[in-house]
Structure 1
Amino acid sequence: MGRWRRCLGDGHRRDDAGVFSAVSVATLEAPVITAIVPAWNESARIGAVLSVLIGHPLLARVLVVDDGSTDGTGQVARHAGAEVLSLAANGGKTAALAAAIARTTTPYLMLIDADLQGITRDDIARLALPVLTGRASVTLSLRGNTPRLWHWLGVDYISGERVLPRALIAPLLDQLPGLPRFGFEVFLNARILGAGLRPVIVDWPGVTSPLKSRKQGLWPGLRADARMVRDMMRTVPPLGLMRQIIAFSPRLGDIAVAPDRPTLARGRAIHRR
């Protein structure tokens, strides 16, 4: 891919050289980002993520949502110095994020998965600074072990690592309880497109996320992946998912697409043109 830049649909840029990290943090005012880390049974991995987030100069708060863990994830997070919101039962990522967002007040949110490996403070800065400096409305990460197709397209459209204005999702908080467990990212993507925005993609070549099959075992992991795909398609139909990929891809993003606007009917997300 090399050192190249490409304008996206809203005039924002993608820079594979990581130039966002060169912006001086000293020019920014007090931190205005809450980092939200949804976690379920991640006691073995969340500590490394929190060691990067806690005390970061761009973050006002670090809020971990312990989604009914049974392995002491919440205790590990508290010991690391994070705020912890403990949910009594495992309700899935969408419910965990909804509960956390409802408890935030900062203008911006950073969503971070709890199982990341190799993440650094510079990665956090490069994800946040395009938004904080007005060069982007939304950012998405592109991890090093993202599937080859996503690397070729230049986007992982269901990335769990994002920075966005809280105002983008706050008006829809009452709709989130009706979404499937793993429908949040594609629901948010539809909101981004509906607002006429395009994300800036931030390369994280040194950051990886373990496969579910490695964390849960082969068959449980494959079943979990299948449930995630099912939830995505229940939230946004396949054609809508394709629109998101095309719109967000730096290679394909010049293709005009109609924004998808998810609504809820009978407790289920649907799309209307």
Structure 2
Amino acid sequence: MRGKITCLVPAHDEATRIGAVLGVLVGHSMIDRVLVIDDGSQDGTAEVARKAGAEVLRLVPNRGKTRALAQGIAASDGDWLLLIDADLTGLTAADVTQLVWPVLEGRADVSLSLRGNAPRLWRWLGVDYISGERMLPRTLIAPHLTALDSLPKFGFEVFLNRLMLNHGLRPAVVRWPGVASPAKSVKRGFWRGMASDGLMIVDILRATGPMTVLNQIVRLTRQVR
């Protein structure tokens, strides 16, 4: 199974980190198109992305990750979407291939990463239910752009989980022990980072509710074990 793969990279003020990520994605033999959604950055993220050879969709002002991805999905084409966060460290071409292969080979319908610095609980359970790195059919999410626009800024992953589970899709978890995503406290300072983490948790609960989140974690854990 093949088909065109569009890689979406949502980014906000990631000029110091996105270059390394795009160095892996741009030119990767399995990726047909790399589209960076620059979500109101003020630090030159778009310029770094263009120099790396990626297409850039600029949004002004900042709209939050969910709406940024909705814009990227609307601008995408092809059969598959590969979602990659812009701030990863340690990402290699082999990691990307490992995330793509289970879906293209038909062993899974969607795939999710499990980064080396994911919370210990997620590593113990074997799944990170809000992983930002995924491979999925574009037809799963493209019909729901209006719904995405009504979600909180960080409601995308749990919304996508609901679609996956409602459609009975088979997930595969790909462990990335050498890949990390820096904590918000590292990127923004301790107090701003803590506030951002708190707002993200609130958005997740607003998007689905605590019982739905728990149900998603339980169901995904059962499916990948």
Q: TM-score, normalised by structure 2?
A: 0.97
* Preserved CA contact (<8 Å) 1:198 1:247: no
- 2:86 aligns with 114
- 2:4 aligns with 32
- 1:58 aligns with 30
Equivalent position amino acid for 2:128 in 1: D
> What SS does the aligned partner of 1:76 have?
helix
Identity %: 57
Query: What's the C-alpha RMSD, in Å, of the aligned pairs?
Result: 1.3
Of 99, 124, 127, the match for 2:99: 127
- Give the whole-Å Cα distance in 2 for the aligned partners of 1:217 and 1:133: 42
Equivalent position amino acid for 1:91 in 2: R
- Give the whole-Å Cα distance in 1 for the aligned partners of 2:119 and 2:150: 30
- Give the whole-Å Cα distance in 2 for the aligned partners of 1:198 and 1:209: 25
- 1:245 aligns with 217
Q: Which runs of 5+ in 2 are unaligned?
A: none
- 1:41 aligns with 13
- Give the whole-Å Cα distance in 2 for the aligned partners of 1:71 and 1:171: 33
* Preserved CA contact (<8 Å) 2:172 2:224: no
> What SS does the aligned partner of 2:114 have?
strand
- Give the whole-Å Cα distance in 2 for the aligned partners of 1:196 and 1:219: 40
Q: Deviations over 1:130-188 (max 9, x none)?
A: 11111110000000001110010000000000000000001111111100000000000
- Give the whole-Å Cα distance in 1 for the aligned partners of 2:210 and 2:124: 20
| Matches for 1:1-273 after TM superposition, within 5 Å | 32-249=4-221, 252-253=222-223
Q: Deviations over 1:172-208 (max 9, x none)?
A: 1111110000000000000101101231000000000
- 1:16 aligns with none
- CA drift of 1:254 comes to 8.6
Equivalent position amino acid for 1:36 in 2: L
Equivalent position amino acid for 1:184 in 2: F
* Preserved CA contact (<8 Å) 1:35 1:62: yes
Larger Rg: 1
* Preserved CA contact (<8 Å) 1:108 1:166: yes
Q: Which runs of 5+ in 1 are unaligned?
A: 1-27, 256-273
Provide closer, same or farther for how the CA distance between residues 134 and 247 of structure 1 changes in structure 2, counting only shifts above 3 A: same
Q: TM-score, normalised by structure 1?
A: 0.81
Q: Which runs of 4+ in 1 moved over 4 A?
A: none
Equivalent position amino acid for 2:147 in 1: Q
Equivalent position amino acid for 1:115 in 2: D
- Give the whole-Å Cα distance in 2 for the aligned partners of 1:254 and 1:96: 29
Equivalent position amino acid for 2:124 in 1: W
* Preserved CA contact (<8 Å) 1:34 1:106: yes
> What SS does the aligned partner of 2:72 have?
helix
- Give the whole-Å Cα distance in 1 for the aligned partners of 2:23 and 2:62: 25
- Give the whole-Å Cα distance in 1 for the aligned partners of 2:205 and 2:56: 31
More helix as a share of residues:
2
> What SS does the aligned partner of 1:164 have?
strand
- Give the whole-Å Cα distance in 1 for the aligned partners of 2:173 and 2:82: 14
Equivalent position amino acid for 1:57 in 2: S
